[in-house]
A and B are shown apart, each in its own frame.
Chain A
Amino acid sequence: MSIDRPSGDVVLSVRDLEVSFATRRGRADVVRGLDYDLRRGETLALVGESGSGKSVSTMALTKLIPIPPGRVTGTAMLDGQDLIAMSERDLLAVRGRRIGFVFQDPMTSLNPVHPIGRQLTEGMRHHLGISESDARDRAVDLLRKVGIPAAEKRLDDYPHQFSGGMRQRVVIAIGLSCDPQVLIADEATTALDVTTQAQIIELVNQLQDELGMAVIWITHDLGVVAGIADRVMVMYAGEIVEEADVDELFADPRHPYTVGLLKSLPVLGAFDRDELAAIPGLPPAPTDLPAGCAFHPRCAYRDDERCVSERPPLREVGGDAGSGHRIRSFYEVAEDDRRAAATAGIAAPEHREEDAS
């Protein structure tokens, strides 16, 4: 459970986060014991297949999931305050103020009946208690910052008057509007075309340098991860199965699932259900998780004892102690397989070179 790294600059510290939903088919264990620290200025990528619990685990931090049927336990310390224990009232002061959000679909995450200026200012007015005209001035600054041309003329335009990429810039401006310590971007570029995607990623990188906030970047796309993240957490069936610095993860993956993901990469540079040729089978339903290691039905490395009966712990692996490279598996992938996956991973992501700049 302990993470042996300096913790002085930790902004958000999550321990044993569990989220379940009461469903008609029984209890769905969607997030099962997440532990991680997010540091100032850091970008942590959360990757995993659809349904692995990426969105729910981050939404649950400020209880943006329906409760009930949802249930959240564990702790999430933001500046010494536990978000999970907070009242709804106190959480209102966290959402949008200390934690900003950007969601996937810029076509739907803006309200079509209000001008974008209003959608930018309402949060600022609420949290910062500033006047309408001050809020509008700030909104213009923000829109400039996210690269919207002629910002002051566009405040009273409606979302449908912007292109998808421009809308996502507006959504990012909303996420940044109250200077949050943490920005959670949930598939923020998934709905955009490749060029726009690259622009948005660059924008977020640049804003992060400028503003020093920490970012949790949720994505399906390992290519995007290489371009934006400092550290990566791979999720499977509600658990972290591997966590490492981004270069280490691509160069030296250790968990059978991660290796499978990286091997499936060269096909398109992104992974979707049908591209997961390298990993046979499907992820389990959260209402019906297998005993032992949740990945065992699909794992080529499993033994037929511990893997099927005992839940593997999250443990440190790799050369340098304290590198924070962790996997949740009894076994590590063999050396030559790792190398094959690493080559595939390095060859594939399109944003890899940009990362160096």
Chain B
Amino acid sequence: MARYVALRIGQSLLALLGVSIIVFALMHLVPGDPVRSALGTRFTPELYAALVERAGLDRPILVQYFDWLGRAVTGDLGVSFRTGQPVALALGQRVGPTALLAFGALIVGLLIALPAGIVSAVKQGKAPDYAANTFSQIGVSLPDFWFGILLILVFARMLGWLPPGGYASFADDPAAALRYLLLPAVTAGVVTGAILTRFVRSSMLEALNAEHVRLARAKGLPWRYVLRHHVLRNAWIPIITVTGLQLGTLLGGIIVVEIVFSWPGIGRLALDAVQTRDYPVLQGAVLLVAAVFLLLNLLVDLVYARLDPRIRVGAST
């Protein structure tokens, strides 16, 4: 197990290094002079020179990369071309809201997917199964931005129950924070829930049809016991894996949702950075999302290994 953990951590670090190269190259692949285009109408030779120097753009490219990497490792991601604010600081302010939204969306997704997937597998081919399938079919093909706007129209504009967008921090006002969170979390959560429903259903079906379930039934164990200890216990393993991986996909969807609901998260920040050609901020955002994504994958694998004795306890025969 220790070997396995070390191996997986090593792999993740390697992948992160790969991402860092791509992110770094981003700055140098864009046509034209990034600093110049970022400055736009604010261009003055002094400002230009200062930024170029600050970003180290006048040195050889490899030196620039290792320099940048070295600083990135210590948390120094450069300064925003636009505001001059350190990128790490800008990201730090936006991480909280994005994490909150991702967490909320995941909860919504699981609240939908676990019951829907389990019931539809256990009642395979019956009405609840068809209902769950229809839901996931619709849910999967629902564009987030369209669904978000629909929710705003109904619950904010028409019924006036919830705010159409914005954010409040939990620390300041938990009630308001929840009200702001609800619509975006549901928007991102429904799609996640629809995707997860399918996985939960198929993992459950696979577990239900396993030969060991037949043997467990042949032992005369009550169905509820078999379901708990020989079906759900086995189905958890793929469900947890897919849920973790789905979090990564969820982060992608959240960018759109943040924009629709004016949610001050990483996605919003990245979009603004794209529009204003603020490359250091964009680099930082992409690097952060990639790191989180890799970390999630790593955690998923470690949890999986913990749950599955075939990995946890190496084969001895």
A residues near B (Cβ < 8 Å) are 62, 64, 91-97, 101, 103, 105, 108-115, 122-123, 126-127, 157-158, 160-163, 166, 171, 174
Q: Are A111 and B212 interface neighbours, CB within 8 A?
A: yes
Q: By the criterion CB–CB under 8 Å, are A109 and B212 in contact?
A: yes
Of the candidates A96, A114, A162, the one whose C-beta lies within 8 Å of that of B221 is A96
B317 touches A96 (CB 8 A): no
Q: Which of B83-91, B182-190, B230-238 contacts A (4 or more CB under 8 A)?
A: B230-238
Q: Report the minimum CB–CB distance from A95 to chain B (whole Å).
A: 4
B212 touches A95 (CB 8 A): no
Chain B contact residues, CB within 8 Å of chain A: 210-212, 214-222, 225, 229-230, 233-234, 237, 307-310, 313, 315-317
| CB closest chain-A residue, reference B230 | A111
List of B residues within 8 angstroms of A101 by Cβ: 215, 218-219
The CA-CA distance from A64 to B221 in the complex, in Å, is: 12
Give bound CA distance, A191 to B142, whole Å. 47
- What's the least CB distance linking A165 to chain B, in Å? 11
With the chains together, A335 CA to B230 CA distance in Å? 54
Contacts of A161 in B (CB 8 A): 313, 315-317
Q: Are B220's CB and A64's CB within 8 A?
A: no
Q: Determine the distance from Cα of A103 to Cα of B219 in the docked complex, in whole angstroms.
A: 12
Pairwise interchain contact B309-A111, C-beta atoms closer than 8 A: no
B220 touches A127 (CB 8 A): yes
For residue A284, give the distance in angstroms from its CB to the closest CB of chain B.
27
Query: How long is the Cα–Cα vector from A289 to B219 in the complex, in angstroms?
Result: 34
Q: List 18 A-B residue pairs with CB atoms under 8 Å apart, sorted by A's residue number.
A: A92-B220, A95-B219, A101-B215, A108-B210, A108-B211, A109-B211, A109-B215, A111-B216, A113-B233, A113-B308, A113-B309, A114-B233, A122-B229, A123-B219, A126-B220, A126-B225, A160-B309, A161-B317
Q: Is the CB of A126 within 8 A of B219?
A: yes
Chain A contacts for B316, CB-based, 8 A: 157, 161
Residues of B within 8 A of A91 (CB): 220
The answer on a CB contact under 8 Å between B221 and A103 is no
Please measure, in the bound complex, the distance between the C-alpha atom of A171 and the C-alpha atom of B216, giving whole angstroms: 11
Instruction: Name B217's contact: one of A95, A112, A114, A127 (CB within 8 Å).
Output: A95
Chain B hits for A163, CB < 8 A: 317
Chain A residues with CB under 8 Å of B309's CB are 112-113, 115, 158, 160
Q: B210, B217, B222, B316: which has the most chain A beta carbons within 10 Å?
A: B217
Q: Would you give the shortest CB distance from B133 to chain A, in whole angstroms?
A: 19
Residue of A nearest to B310 (CB): A160
Known A115-B309, A166-B317; 14 more pairs at CB < 8 Å: A94-B220, A95-B220, A96-B218, A108-B210, A109-B214, A110-B212, A110-B215, A111-B216, A113-B234, A113-B309, A122-B229, A161-B313, A161-B315, A162-B317
| CB neighbours of A160 from chain B (8 A) | 309-310, 313, 315
* Distance between Cα atoms of A158 and B222 in the complex (Å): 23
B204 to chain A, nearest CB (A): 15
Write out the residue numbers on chain B whose beta carbons fall within 8 Å of the beta carbon of A162: 317
Residues of A with C-beta under 8 A to B215: 101, 103, 109-110, 171, 174
Q: Which residues of the partner chain B approach A94 to less than 8 Å between Cβ atoms?
A: 220
In the complex, chain A residues whose CB is within 8 Å of the CB of B307:
113
Of A96, A113, A115, A158, which contacts B219 at CB under 8 A? A96
Chain B hits for A113, CB < 8 A:
233-234, 237, 307-309
User: Is the CB–CB distance between A114 and B229 below 8 Å?
Assistant: yes
Give the distance in Å from the alpha carbon of A239 to the alpha carbon of B6 in the complex.
Answer: 60
Contact of A112 among B218, B219, B222, B310 (CB under 8 A): B310
Return chain A residues, CB-CB under 8 Å to B229.
114, 122
Chain B proximity of A106: nearest CB distance (Å) = 10
